[in-house]
Amino acid sequence: MKNPEIYRSSNIEKLKKITRQIAFWLSFIAVLAVIFESGFNISPLNHNKMQWLFIITLCAGLISDISRYYSRKERPRIKVWLYDSLFLILIILILYDRIFLIEMPLFDNLLTYLAIFIIFIRELSSNNIDFKRKTFSPAQLFVASFIFIISIGTALLMLPKATNAGISIIDALFTCTSAVCVTGLSVVDTGTYFTTFGQVLIIILMQLGGLGILTFTSYFSYFFKGETTFDNQLLLKDLTSTEKFTEIFTTLKRIILVTVTIEAIGAVLIYMSINESVIASGTDRIFFAVFHSVSGFCNAGFSTLPNNLYELSVRYNYFLHLTIAFLIIIGGLGFPIVFNFIKYLKHLLLNRILPYITQKEQKHKPWVININTRIVVVTTAVLLIGGTVFFYIFEYNNTLAEHHGFGKIAIAFFGATTPRTAGFNSVDTAALNFYTIMLIFFLMWIGGSPASTAGGIKTSTFAVAFLNIISIAKGKDRIEIYRREISNDSVRRAFAIIALSFIVLGFSIILISYFDNDKDLRSIAFECFSALGTVGLSLGITAKLTSASKFIIVITMFIGRVGMLTILMAFMNKIRHLKYRYPTEEILIN
């Protein structure tokens, strides 16, 4: 005979499980309803039905969340309590508003939608998200995640209420790929062609593309559950380039916190730089600031202004240009470099400045700034300073002629920053001198830094290749810098990436030249370099390309964001062990 206590406990657990499953599927259906209501024109009757669906979903989410605290095994950790408390208060207020029809302006559809998405994320994260390492390699999962986002985003951008006059599937695919791959190339004017709903979708796509959907799903799953599988940790270790297992989720948390913090600061500064004469509505100014802050930090280059930052109303707003330029630089440095800087500042404060003030012995800690940071920062500084100087000299009497004094320097600095995969333009790109365009070719090709939101072959790849050339010229059999030796694997990867970049560029230019033989080679090459470097600058031919050429650019943007080497690794079987060696032969190379 069954023990009554055990039997009752078993029934309670089953009831809790059913409650959570109901909450999950209701939230999933409600999310689809939110998309349907936002993207289609619906009748008042259907609108009322959806409002009742939202109320039922909120109630289910409330019950599911509370039930977790009645189970010792599944009771959330203390750090989740604050989140749940604020969330429960939000749901109660929304339900109070919906049921009693108080019609408080604060609790409109926007907050209801937000609450439903939070419930969905909460319930989805509570399920077992297990990335089978034996089934999917990190490269395969990385590539698949981008294909998934692009597919969903394309479908959403084709919804009737996402645009003012409809959009073709190729243009929707092009725009979505450009946003997810944080490129910025556009076949339509973002500010006038897309509605507010469509522009919000572009913001979300830029954010997901910049950080990666795996970053969000993995962190929230761990945050709510407090645990994960060993396979997940192995995979995330490869994706986040983390050295220790214990630092994986700390790294994910830092990535999200740093992103939100920098984008929030950027949005505040951009909002301060725009006055009422440019954008009258305060709400529109906030949206403008958020859109451009996300676009800047993610190195996307999308703008709601018809002529980007060359628009007359902001053309001489140097504070705005410099703010976006620094967002581009920070986003393009890469999270490992930013974290290493934070670590160095902490070391400087605790071990240098405070001991100096308190007259205590200063602690010495070697190699706080690692070799990756040193190489990336030096290469970035050389490219920015050199690019600014050359842009200033080349365009002094051309596109910079309308600016004076500090304005020339600011625009030249912006002109050297934005080709490093951002895509904003503060001058008329089509009016640039030929030698300036050649400089931009070079900057677009190099791009940003590894583990960042930027594209291109990356600064470290270029630096390693350059150091290898110097090393060979000196007759050395290894690369040495900062009292360290660069591994042969790094050198091989660098030259593989460089070779693959030229192969992809060659095929893209040849194919577009075939499909659009009326376009000049310079404009086509510029478009391909911009797409592969996920830059977004153009000489004005993007919207005039044929559908076939647009699709070539889509593929090129995808390769530029994911990486051709990553794609090859995803589709080729990895050889785990090489227990043999053939005799070594010298190949004649000169």
Q: Which pLDDT belongs to residue 577?
A: 64
Shortest CA distance to 94 belongs to which of 54, 126, 133? Answer: 54
- CA dist 515 and 504 (Å) reads 17
Range of lowest pLDDT (154-158, 277-281, 586-590):
586-590
144 contacts: CB under 8 Å, gap ≥ 6: 136
Shortest CA distance to 553 belongs to which of 580, 577, 525? Answer: 525
Q: Which pLDDT belongs to residue 464?
A: 92
Domain region containing 523: 368-571
What 3-state DSSP class applies to 478?
Answer: coil
* Position 273 in a domain: yes
* Position 493 in a domain: yes
The proportion of the chain whose per-residue pLDDT surpasses 90, expressed as a percent, equals 26
The structure tokens 């995979």 sit at 235
* Position 215 in a domain: yes
pLDDT-derived band of residue 456, with 50, 70 and 90 as boundaries? confident
Shared domain for 399 and 284, answered yes or no, is no
Q: Which pLDDT belongs to residue 104?
A: 47
Q: Between 493 and 110, where is the model more confident? A: 493
**Alpha-carbon separation of residue 453 from 124, 213, 420, 510 (angstroms):** 26, 13, 11, 28
Shared domain for 119 and 197, answered yes or no, is no
Range of lowest pLDDT (134-148, 237-251, 465-479):
237-251
* Position 56 in a domain: yes
Shared domain for 194 and 308, answered yes or no, is yes
* Position 580 in a domain: no
pLDDT digits (tens, 9 = 90+) for 43-84: 878 777 888 888 888 888 878 777 776 666 666 666 666 667
Range of lowest pLDDT (91-95, 280-284, 383-387, 514-518):
91-95
pLDDT-derived band of residue 12, with 50, 70 and 90 as boundaries? low
Q: Between 461 and 453, where is the model more confident? A: 461
Shared domain for 189 and 88, answered yes or no, is no
Q: Between 557 and 336, where is the model more confident? A: 557
Picking from 78, 99, 126, the residue at the C-terminal end of a domain is: 126
The structure tokens 């994960």 sit at 228
pLDDT at 467 over 50: yes
* Position 356 in a domain: no
Shared domain for 48 and 167, answered yes or no, is no
* Position 362 in a domain: no
Q: Which pLDDT belongs to residue 185?
A: 85
Question: Which residue type, as a one-letter code, is found at position 239?
Answer: L
> In whole numbers, what is the pLDDT of the chain averaged over residues?
81
* Position 131 in a domain: no
Q: Which pLDDT belongs to residue 499?
A: 92
Q: Which pLDDT belongs to residue 562?
A: 84
Shared domain for 88 and 181, answered yes or no, is no
Give bridge partners of residue 486 from the DSSP assignment: 479
The average pLDDT across 174-181 equals 90
The average pLDDT across 280-299 equals 89
Q: Which pLDDT belongs to residue 540?
A: 84
The structure tokens 């001198």 sit at 433
DSSP 484: E
CA-CA-CA-CA dihedral for 349, 351, 356, 360, to nearest 10: 140
pLDDT at 244 over 90: no
- CA dist 295 and 190 (Å) reads 12
Q: Which pLDDT belongs to residue 392?
A: 94
Q: Which pLDDT belongs to residue 363?
A: 65
Range of lowest pLDDT (35-39, 91-95, 226-230, 327-331):
226-230
Helix locations, 404-487, DSSP H: 406-417, 434-446, 459-473
Q: Between 588 and 515, where is the model more confident? A: 515
Here the tokens at position 412 are 């030249």
pLDDT at 107 over 60: no
Give the distance from CA 392 to its chain's centroid.
30
pLDDT at 326 over 80: yes
Shared domain for 399 and 528, answered yes or no, is yes
Residue 540, φ and ψ in degrees, nearest 5: 100, 15
Shared domain for 96 and 207, answered yes or no, is no
The average pLDDT across 224-250 equals 53
Q: Which pLDDT belongs to residue 3?
A: 58
pLDDT digits (tens, 9 = 90+) for 535-589: 888 888 888 899 999 999 999 999 988 888 888 877 776 666 667 778 887 777 7
pLDDT-derived band of residue 39, with 50, 70 and 90 as boundaries? confident
Shared domain for 148 and 53, answered yes or no, is no
What 3-state DSSP class applies to 479?
Answer: strand
Longest alpha-carbon distance in the chain: 95
Q: Which pLDDT belongs to residue 44?
A: 79
Shared domain for 150 and 228, answered yes or no, is yes
Shared domain for 43 and 162, answered yes or no, is no
pLDDT at 344 over 50: yes
Picking from 68, 95, 126, the residue at the C-terminal end of a domain is: 126
When divided into structural domains, the chain yields a total of 3
Question: Which residue type, as a one-letter code, is found at position 312?
Answer: L
Q: With contact defined as beta carbons under 8 Å apart, do 205 and 176 qualify?
A: yes
CA-CA-CA-CA dihedral for 316, 317, 323, 329, to nearest 10: -10
Shared domain for 426 and 548, answered yes or no, is yes
